[in-house]
Structure 1
Amino acid sequence: MRQFTMRVPVIDVNSENLTEVWPSLVLAVKSATFVALDTELSGLGDRKWLNAKCVEERYKAISHIANTRAIVSLGISAYKFLPSTQEGNCMKGDKPCTNREKLQCDFAMKYMVQTFNISVLCQQDYVVEAEALRFLVDHGFDFNKQYSQGIPYDKGEDMTKLSLDKPGIRSLFAHIILSQVPVVFHNAFVDLGFLYENLYATLPASLGTFVSDISEIFEAGVYDTKYISEFVAHFPASYLDYVFHKSLRENSADGGCPHVELTFPKYPAQQTSVTYRSCTAPDPSRPLPHPEILKVMRGLVCDNFASHGWCIKRRECTKSHDIDLILDCEDVVTKKRRRYRKRKHHCEEDQSTKGAQCLPDTPHSSTEVMNSTVECRDDQRNGAEAGSLCKQKKMSPEDRTFGLNGANADQSEESKEPESREILQTISEKIAGVEDLSKPQAIYTNGNKGHRAGFDAFMTGFAMATFVARYGSALSSGHKNKVSLSDWGLEELVNKVCLSGKSIPMIVTKSSYCKTSKQHTEKLEILRSLPL
């Protein structure tokens, strides 16, 4: 069993300490296996245009928004892979594991991680939306600090001669480009548009030209963890908090598949610019809440937040936005489905060997599928030689909403184990001591621990690291000193950007029908001519 607990340091970077932090910031980018990026923005305009059916219209909307709004904070998390004595491979004896053998392997993929939360201030006038301001303030963003200590930058074309040695947000972005390090985003389309307009050059007129430019700017590849979580991992939800916490739990699961281990630099205690945030995955072997208690807990969850990661009521919402509660409910459902499949298998065996009568595998209609579930119990618990007894159990509407499939129907023997009785008693006492069950903090915290670009970038990078462990192939024995994501054979994941509401991603590749923009070509030539 692996217990996964980490205390994540995040360096706050502003105009007052940029010079001091600059050498370590540049070195972290240059030596990274991949860099995860996240932006906090002054607004996103009308969301309906960002979700337009035509992708070209979406791009025009992003171009307008990026031109009129600004980046207020930039998060960078640099992940550096640390090869082991086995050359970073998942090994069986003296040979790399095959993909099938990797499923039974418990190999640790280790990374050194450095994370920076950079406060920036655009020097041109820009729009600050009331909704964006409320969101950022609700999640702990300090606008006073941003306006007083934000690192200044100019949008669009460079207003001054760029120097890679001079600390600045545009020169940092130039280092990311020139280092040819893979970049990772969560929901990359908007971030790419804002980074291009704010830190590179004026956005081109057409989507095709923009995509061609991006494919050359980030030659090592663009990775989108939202696309991976939706289309490859098939997570039930794909917002960043959910993806991170689910990845954290799966990474700490006992046995099977390579897993991720992180180390962080040790910063002096007197370094006040470093803040820490603790992350702990629940013990995988702990007993989950009893189905009867789960049903009560389920009523405390905000459905909209559980599905999409946002709630229009924000702090006024009386229901829980706690990711652990949401995932606990899902874990109970998953374990119940596994028990159901196991019992169904035993039921089929009994039917073939003892002639027991079981219900059909598939109900006659889709309504029956939604409104019923089959539960098989073996009468041989009492020593009888009768076959299996199967009965049909109706689902409640709230169970169907969350997919609990009649979670309270199963009063199995395992619920009588000491551990299950203990957690049942503990949570029952919590519920009994609460007069108003609409207060979710009675059982779980509300999960509002702040929303910062730096930690969001770290969460994005961690999710990517777990996806590499799950879907990557073994490194070749003769890999370079600096390992890149492409060394793991991730062709299925690279340069595919999630488009909300679309069944296919946007492919980031240079088209034979669209040339790169003239301003990009000139800009890239200037960057490559600068001394490193």
Structure 2
Amino acid sequence: MAEVLALVDVDSESAPETWPLLLEAVRNAHFTALDLELSGLGDVIGRGKGHTIHTRYSDACEAVKTRAMLSLGVACYRWKQPLESRERVQNTNSQYANHTAEPFATTTRLMRESHTPTVTETALEGNDTAAVPLERSDTLEETTPERDDALVLEETAPGLEESAREINATLALGKEAGPGIAVLEDSAHGEKDVVSVGVEVKVFNVWLMCQRPYTIDPSSAHFLVQHGFDFNRQFARGIPYTPGPMEVQRDEKRVCLHHLLATILAVGKPLVVHNGWIDLLFLYGNLYSPLPPSLGTLMADFSEMFVGGVYDTKAIAQYQIPQEATFLEYLFRKCQRDNEVLTSRGSPNIKLHHPSLPSSVQMESVVLSPPPSPSLEELADITVCENFSRYGFCHKANCLHSHNVLSVLAHHEHQLRIREMRRKRKRKDEKRQAGMSNGEECARSAKQHCSSDSTSTATHRAD
């Protein structure tokens, strides 16, 4: 049965009913994910290696002043089980205890030790690259709508990579991580096995309409239209907002984007983004305060604003748990496939729960279940677009190669299997060569020993 997600559209017409649902979901979430669609970035996406972090920050500030937020995606995650003691995790069967309890302990420890001030100190000391790694090793020379602005607020603690591989980057980031683990008891043996991590998710798409003049970049508009963005709806029904400081604009009695950001900051829970450095700058500059001239001041403000920590999935996939590609759709499908494998093996896995909503709420049904992946025979006839496989988009108008993310994923998995087979064959050959060398050495040693014995015998007879 296909898994279907209810995407709640929040616009000026549906806001009287959907806005309270959005605020309630944010207040009750254990962690929240945000994603912005923007009217463009100007020179920011043209800046690559050779430009300092301060130059790129200056360009980003200019983009915030001249471009606008078109829509805001908000996903609110809440552990399905009620809050209980961590002993529930520790009592699980030893087969899964090391693979499940430790990841949640690690991520919980990360949340408690989220040293955003340390990053601020790093930025103030001038080591900006370590604080905000805006560079990438494989940037395109051409201007692209992909925003290479992954944000790393802290270095991942030891053990997170192994934990994330086991749980498959499940975003288990809440301090109350333990309650999300579903535990089943074996009545025959009195043992408990961790089966799944239950997470309730509510997803909202907030249409926005900036009330000041702004610039729309043609490349960004083309990219958005290609991916189904409805500019007619955005202009006609977008929730109006006027950029300005939060203390001036905040009004809890009406639909107000400033109030939404204030609510997110007030709950103090972890914030998850993907390639979110620019997103945070736009939220700050439009809804919190004018961007400061100093990057160090901005980082200090971030450390006070996001007390629960900020986690960038692109940064994790690029620097901490390296993946073949880091664009969002690829990571989603890969994690989804890995989670299905864990489920089939009876290993700890993620189980999403989609709560029912009132029938009067305007929503869109989104099918999460992927279509069948291409077989090896089909994959042999598919040529994957190189740009798409690395970045998730292609500028060529008539590109004849595949732009299917499942084909990209299948191709990467096939290449991984080939490399693994070659490594196994190499290790086997090395062992065989080592065995042959040992055998030859033993033969030479035995021959020398026999020769020595013969010489000793001959000498003894001569005496």
TM bucket by the smaller chain? Answer: 0.5 to 0.7
Which residue of 351, 356, 359 corresponds with 1:266?
Answer: 356
Counterparts in 2 of 1:189 and 1:326: CA distance versus 1, 3 Å: same
- Alignment match of 2:53 (pick from 52, 55, 67): 55
Asked if structure 2 preserves the Cα contact closer than 8 Å seen for 1:123 and 1:152, the reply is: yes
CA distance in 2, matches of 1:100, 1:11: 32
Question: 1:186-213: per-residue Cα shift (whole Å, max 9, x none)?
Answer: 0111001111111111111111111111
1:111 pairs with 2:196: no
Q: Give TM-score scaled by structure 1 length.
A: 0.60
**1:78 is matched by which residue type in structure 2?**
C
| Other structure's SS at 2:229 match | coil
Contact 1:30 1:181 in 2 (8 A): no
1:351 to 1:257, Cα distance in 2 relative to 1, 3 A: same
2-structure distance, mates of 1:275, 1:307: 30
Superposed displacement of residue 85, structure 1: 9.0
Report SS of the residue matched to 2:357.
coil
What is the rounded CA distance, in whole Å, between the counterparts of 1:122 and 1:287 in structure 2? 43
The 3-state SS of whatever aligns with 1:280 is coil
Deviation of the 1:122 alpha carbon: 0.8
Give the match for residue 476 of structure 1: none
Letter in 2 for 1:82: K
- Equivalent residues of 2:9, 2:206 under 8 A apart: yes
Give the deviation of 1:347 after TM superposition: 3.8
User: How far apart are 1:351 and its partner, in Å?
Assistant: 4.4
Superposition pairs for residues 149-164 of structure 1, below 5 Å?
Answer: 149-157=237-245, 161-164=249-252
CA 1:161–1:281 in 2, change beyond 3 Å: closer, same or farther? Answer: closer
User: Match for 1:153: what amino acid?
Assistant: Y
Match of residue 265 from structure 2: 177
Cα deviation per residue 1:358-417 (whole Å; 9 max; x = unaligned)?
A: xxxxxxxxxxxxxxxxxxxxxxxxxxxxxxxxxxxxxxxxxxxxxxxxxxxxxxxxxxxx
Aligned pairs for 1:20-419 (under 5 A) are 20-46=17-43, 47-49=45-47, 53-83=51-81, 90-91=89-90, 93=92, 97-99=97-99, 107-157=195-245, 161-254=249-342, 255=345, 258-269=348-359, 271=361, 273-281=362-370, 288-290=375-377, 294-297=379-382, 299=383, 301-314=384-397, 316-351=398-433
Q: What is the distance in 2 between the residues matched to 1:38 and 1:247?
A: 19
Asked whether the 8 Å contact 2:72–2:208 carries over to 1, the reply is yes
CA deviation after TM superposition for structure 1 residue 321, in Å: 0.9
Q: CA deviation at 1:99?
A: 4.9
- CA distance, structure 1, for counterparts of residue 427 and residue 325 of structure 2: 30
Of structures 1 and 2, the larger Rg is shown by 2
Distance in 1 (alpha carbons) for counterparts of 2:316 and 2:379: 30
How far did residue 294 of structure 1 move? 3.5
For 2:252, what is the secondary structure of its paired residue? coil
Instruction: Assess, with a 3 A threshold, how the Cα gap between structure 1 residues 40 and 151 changes in structure 2: closer, same or farther.
Output: same
Q: Is 2:7 the counterpart of 1:10?
A: yes
CA deviation after TM superposition for structure 1 residue 253, in Å: 1.4
**C-alpha displacement of 1:256:** 7.2
Q: Distance in 2 between matches of 1:310 and 1:126?
A: 25
Contact 1:74 1:118 in 2 (8 A): yes
Please say if residues 185 and 225 of structure 1, whose CA atoms lie closer than 8 Å, have aligned partners that are also in contact.
Answer: yes
* Residues 422-501 of structure 1 mapped to structure 2, 5 A cutoff: none
Specify the SS of the correspondent of 1:187. Answer: coil
Secondary structure in structure 2 of the residue aligned to 1:335:
helix
What is the percent sequence identity of the aligned residues?
A: 34
Deviations along 1:95-116, one digit per CA (max 9) or x if unpaired, are 8823598759864111100000
The residue identity in structure 2 corresponding to 1:67 is: K
Answer yes or no: is the 8 Å Cα contact 2:30–2:79 preserved in 1.
Answer: yes
SS in 1 for 2:290: coil
- C-alpha distance 239-349 of structure 1, shift in aligned 2 (>3 A): same
Which 5+ residue runs of structure 1 have no aligned equivalent? 358-532
Contact persistence 1:29–1:175 (CA under 8 A) = yes
CA distance in 2, matches of 1:70, 1:85: 40
Which stretch has the larger CA shift, 162-171 or 72-81? 162-171
How has the CA–CA distance of structure 1 residues 265 and 191 changed in structure 2, closer, same or farther, with 3 Å as cutoff? same
How much has 1:267 moved relative to structure 2? Answer: 2.9
Question: Would the aligned equivalents of 2:79 and 2:199 in 1 still touch at CA under 8 Å?
Answer: yes
1:5 shift after superposition: 5.0
Cα distance in 2, alignment partners of residues 261 and 161 from structure 1? 39
Query: Given the superposition, is the C-alpha separation of residues 339 and 5 from structure 1 closer, same or farther in structure 2, using an over 3 Å criterion?
Result: farther
Task: Return the alpha-carbon distance in structure 1 between the equivalents of residues 72 and 388 of structure 2.
Answer: 25
Provide the C-alpha distance between the structure 1 equivalents of 2:313 and 2:322, rounded to a whole number of angstroms: 12
Cα deviations by residue, 1:14-56 (Å, 9 ceiling, x for unpaired): 0111121122111110111111000000111022237663111
Please tell me the residue identity of whatever aligns with 2:385: C
Give the conservation status (yes or no) of the 8 Å contact 1:10–1:274: yes
Contact 2:93 2:194 in 1 (8 A): no
Name the aligned partner's letter for residue 71 of structure 1.
Answer: M
Deviation digits for residues 318-365 of structure 1, max 9, x if unmatched? 2211010011111112222333333444444544557899xxxxxxxx
Q: Note closer, same or farther for the CA distance 1:13–1:85 as it changes in structure 2 (3 Å cut).
A: closer
* Change in 2 beyond 3 A, CA 1:203/1:101: closer
How far apart in 2 are the matches of 1:278 and 1:122?
31
Post-superposition Cα deviations, 1:163-189, rounded to whole Å, max 9, x if no partner, equal 224222111111111111211110111
CA distance in 2, matches of 1:235, 1:256: 25
CA contact 2:2–2:368 (8 Å) conserved in 1: yes
Instruction: Give me the whole-angstrom Cα distance separating, in 2, the residues matched to 1:328 and 1:67.
Output: 42
> Which structure carries more helix by proportion?
2
Aligned residue identity for 1:27: E
How big is the alpha-carbon RMSD for the aligned residues of Structure 1 and Structure 2? 3.0
How much does 1:156 deviate? 2.5
The answer to whether the Cα contact below 8 Å between 1:114 and 1:265 also exists between their aligned partners in 2 is yes
Shift of 1:260: 1.2
